[in-house]
Structure 1
């Protein structure tokens, strides 16, 4: 015998005595309430002052800030999708008080109003989390990841290419001048030789003019005449273009034509899965307990050159220096160790070959020919090779890194390597072996090794893996943020700040 099917009442036209409130439809511990509460408790006067006044009324910046942060928390990065959510999503409608700014208003607020102001707002949010006891600014974990820019992947300018083109013009100018000298040699006249060392647009113009004047009225070779005419038409324009491109490059080796602030970098998660170069930015992050405490954007591929400014930014914004800093081998340089030592920060920062050293020590694989393994007599300032031969001090010299940091290196040379049975194992030089020693770096690496191999150091190294790298995993995989929406470094800083706040508030909401 079949039973009667009973359906729940369904009546779209049913009237309510009292209209439902959006507040009743939003759960108490929902992330949208966290965003609302946190943003209500921070000072946004800098944003309010950016409005000039007059004309029609404006949407309140606090409401727009809440909406954009919550949109990023929900993986909505398009201004058009945010506009759509404000009309369809109950949480967005509750958060905005049923205000419905269009996508242009949202985009202008994000790209223009927040520029230069979001960083201070982010740090206020972090300080609120510190008050709640979920974040500490004393211990930070630093790492970097590359995020693709919103730029064409196949239109670029390379620094090496500019240098090659300028050298080619320089070479051809010399060839033209050699022809001038050849012509005047027959007349036994010696023209004044132009300066070919550091050429620019002005010097190229002056040299072409000088060559043209020198050959005026002369019976010159047809090919030389063609080259000179080509130089007049193209080289001045080209040189001006190269100088403009070099001004954009500054210390970088490349940039994108569609976003000149972006540098071409090799990324692990590229769309072709072949490690190709793409325009991007180097996102530097400090974390604690998987919360982002600070962020900076770099335009260079190497993390090494970005740590100093990243730490300085932390100190400037919070007015306090972290007690410990943990980072991987990408940050282990003499400059970084020196800077952290000067700031009295305990640095659990690996250096190159740290893990290899640990593995070789465990396996008993120690290279007796490595400079670190050679016996050193401090009193006589002498090293001794594995055969016991003295390596005397040749002197010292100073050199600067690309970042402008000055290093001091000492050179030592063996007196006679001829006939040594260990020579092929010891070195490959055609002369007697020379070694270079950087005593400041040796001291700093020894101090780093002592810290890294201590109980606290082992604990810090383990925690770094799941602290900062988990944040990158959440941003790139869970939040699906692998490519910036905005162009230009100032707008990129705004966008990564929104991502950082969204990450922190989403994580905080899960603890409630």
Structure 2
């Protein structure tokens, strides 16, 4: 007998309300969004026209869709008409895909998701879910929604613009020779405004020449000089108008887009070409992408940001400056890719935090080979009174002068220069004190950098520091693994820094709320899962069957004990069953066995 099922017959059983389980992730999303104050959720809207959808509803719909790995606006609308939790979040309200897409790409949504991370961090703090007051930072690269071959390189612009400036100088000299009244410096004429002024002066000169030609007789012996001059200046004007000026404007626009980057994509101007880990062609191909930085604790993302820099070293300082809840943490934990003198100085001196960030040579300096190397100045004898280094071979290096270096980003490093003395104890040492080119050998010693290195070694080797740093790999790394493997986000779906930042923020927040809902559900659930019981019964029945077969083959119990010591618990169970039935002489086979057929020894308890 079956229950009645007929889709063509009208039924009076109509659900007037949608209900979902109390531990469902949709409820967690709804509770979290409702906890955000209204003054943060709402923005100034027009008092006329149709009322806008509430941002809380759109935010809930977006977070739940991202939690189910749905990123398309049309598919979110489809979820709203088919999925009951989505209907519950939207109160069964129809929302167009244009409305959802406009909300996701708006400035208000970008500010809203950034503020949401502040409230989430405070929520975690109040419930005691932040451990060790540590902020774990790492980054990953995501491909941009841009054409793979739409690159523009800064080096190419420098090369072609330099060639263009040379041609502009030649053209300027030609105009001077033609009698055009010009007074532009080299810097002025190498700009688009200078070229526009050149073009105006050239056209004004052509007008004067046209007037002079009209006043000339029609036939001039030897030809008209004004007509020849007009022909030459028209050629220059065409070159200026159709070639030089458009190229100069294009180069200047590209430089504005580049800013301090080395490349950008014509499809997505905010994307930078960088090497990705997913290199299927194995040729180191550069792809347009973004460097996503995340700060986590307990595998929850507490803040994030995106950068155009391929390397992580230059992203740490601006990222820490953007974290508004940084005062809640005492430790900044990251891998060796973030270790630099500038970052250490910023964290220790300005933020007054404790960095747990090893530098690049940290692991190598712990090796015996490095610590015993005679080429390493740190292993040389240092005379503090005379400020000298003595190399193990006997060469003496004395302090010479102070020096400073400023990198292309404006950071200054101070050095002490030590030079090998020209007069050594022996002629052999004097020869060792010189380079192959005949100059005196030098070493550059950075006191500040060495101070930070020693401080980091002490911190990382301490009990508290080593314990916290050991958690880095299991805290921040799984977040990116879940982002790429579970949520399938290896490439963003929108273009522009603001839109990409908003999308990444919604994805990270949906990951947080999904994880939080599952953790709370697992803590409150005390009922054993049915499938685990069934697997236990299957394993027990299989063990009994194997025992019956081995008993008939006269297999000794010592075999099971040997295998059980290797880690196979089922064999230990078989050993106990084997001894128990052998002791009591129970018939389990077509053949009959007496107790004397088995070794008589007491049953040992489980170890």
Q: Could you tell me how far apart the structure 2 residues matched to 1:178 and 1:431 are?
A: 48
Query: Which sits farther off after the overlay, 172-181 or 125-134?
Result: 172-181
In structure 2, the CA distance between the partners of 1:173 and 1:437, relative to structure 1 (3 Å rule), is farther
Q: Could you tell me how far apart the structure 2 residues matched to 1:351 and 1:135 are?
A: 26
Query: Which sits farther off after the overlay, 267-276 or 64-73?
Result: 267-276
Q: 1:252 aligns with which of 261, 266, 282?
A: 261
Query: Would the aligned equivalents of 2:134 and 2:329 in 1 still touch at CA under 8 Å?
Result: yes
Q: 1:114 maps to what in 2?
A: 109
Q: Could you tell me how far apart the structure 2 residues matched to 1:50 and 1:76 are?
A: 29
Q: Could you tell me how far apart the structure 1 residues matched to 2:468 and 2:433 are?
A: 38
What is the DSSP-based 3-state SS (H/G/I as helix, E as strand, rest coil) of the residue aligned with 2:348? Answer: helix
Query: Does structure 1 residue 431 correspond to structure 2 residue 442?
Result: no
Query: Does structure 1 residue 200 correspond to structure 2 residue 191?
Result: yes
| Structure 1 stretches lacking a partner, 5+ long | 1-5, 184-190
Q: Figure out how many residues of one structure are paired with residues of the other and give that number.
A: 492
With the length of structure 1 as denominator, give the TM-score of the two structures: 0.85
Q: 1:348 maps to what in 2?
A: 356
How far residue 48 of structure 1 moved from its aligned partner, in angstroms, is 1.4
Query: Does structure 1 residue 236 correspond to structure 2 residue 245?
Result: yes
Deviations along 1:377-435, one digit per CA (max 9) or x if unpaired, are 23322223332222233322222233322211222222349985898999766632222
In structure 2, the CA distance between the partners of 1:429 and 1:489, relative to structure 1 (3 Å rule), is farther
Query: Would the aligned equivalents of 2:141 and 2:290 in 1 still touch at CA under 8 Å?
Result: yes
Query: Does structure 1 residue 396 correspond to structure 2 residue 402?
Result: yes
In structure 2, the CA distance between the partners of 1:447 and 1:429, relative to structure 1 (3 Å rule), is farther
Q: Could you tell me how far apart the structure 1 residues matched to 2:44 and 2:470 are?
A: 45
Query: Does structure 1 residue 338 correspond to structure 2 residue 345?
Result: yes
- Considering Cα pairs closer than 8 Å and 6+ residues apart, tell me whether 1 or 2 has the greater RCO: 1
In structure 2, the CA distance between the partners of 1:428 and 1:452, relative to structure 1 (3 Å rule), is farther
Q: 2:296 maps to what in 1?
A: 287
Q: 2:123 maps to what in 1?
A: 128
Query: Would the aligned equivalents of 1:67 and 1:96 in 2 still touch at CA under 8 Å?
Result: yes
Query: Does structure 1 residue 46 correspond to structure 2 residue 52?
Result: no
Q: Could you tell me how far apart the structure 1 residues matched to 2:467 and 2:434 are?
A: 38
Q: Could you tell me how far apart the structure 1 residues matched to 2:305 and 2:252 are?
A: 28
Q: 1:159 aligns with which of 133, 140, 154?
A: 154
Q: Could you tell me how far apart the structure 1 residues matched to 2:263 and 2:391 are?
A: 44
Q: Could you tell me how far apart the structure 1 residues matched to 2:433 and 2:55 are?
A: 69
Q: Could you tell me how far apart the structure 1 residues matched to 2:11 and 2:478 are?
A: 48
What is the DSSP-based 3-state SS (H/G/I as helix, E as strand, rest coil) of the residue aligned with 1:142? Answer: strand
Q: Could you tell me how far apart the structure 2 residues matched to 1:495 and 1:169 are?
A: 41
Q: 2:515 maps to what in 1?
A: 507
What is the DSSP-based 3-state SS (H/G/I as helix, E as strand, rest coil) of the residue aligned with 1:511? Answer: helix
With the length of structure 2 as denominator, give the TM-score of the two structures: 0.72
Q: 2:599 maps to what in 1?
A: none
Measured on the aligned residues, the alpha-carbon RMSD in Å equals 3.7
Q: 1:481 maps to what in 2?
A: 489
In structure 2, the CA distance between the partners of 1:367 and 1:230, relative to structure 1 (3 Å rule), is farther
Q: Could you tell me how far apart the structure 1 residues matched to 2:370 and 2:51 are?
A: 75
What is the DSSP-based 3-state SS (H/G/I as helix, E as strand, rest coil) of the residue aligned with 2:76? Answer: helix
How far residue 211 of structure 1 moved from its aligned partner, in angstroms, is 12
How far residue 243 of structure 1 moved from its aligned partner, in angstroms, is 1.5
Query: Does structure 1 residue 451 correspond to structure 2 residue 459?
Result: yes
Query: Does structure 1 residue 89 correspond to structure 2 residue 83?
Result: yes
In structure 2, the CA distance between the partners of 1:174 and 1:393, relative to structure 1 (3 Å rule), is farther
The structure number with the bigger radius of gyration is 2
Q: 1:60 aligns with which of 32, 54, 64?
A: 54
Query: Would the aligned equivalents of 2:422 and 2:433 in 1 still touch at CA under 8 Å?
Result: no
| Structure 2 stretches lacking a partner, 5+ long | 210-224, 521-607
In structure 2, the CA distance between the partners of 1:454 and 1:178, relative to structure 1 (3 Å rule), is farther
Query: Which sits farther off after the overlay, 105-114 or 124-133?
Result: 124-133
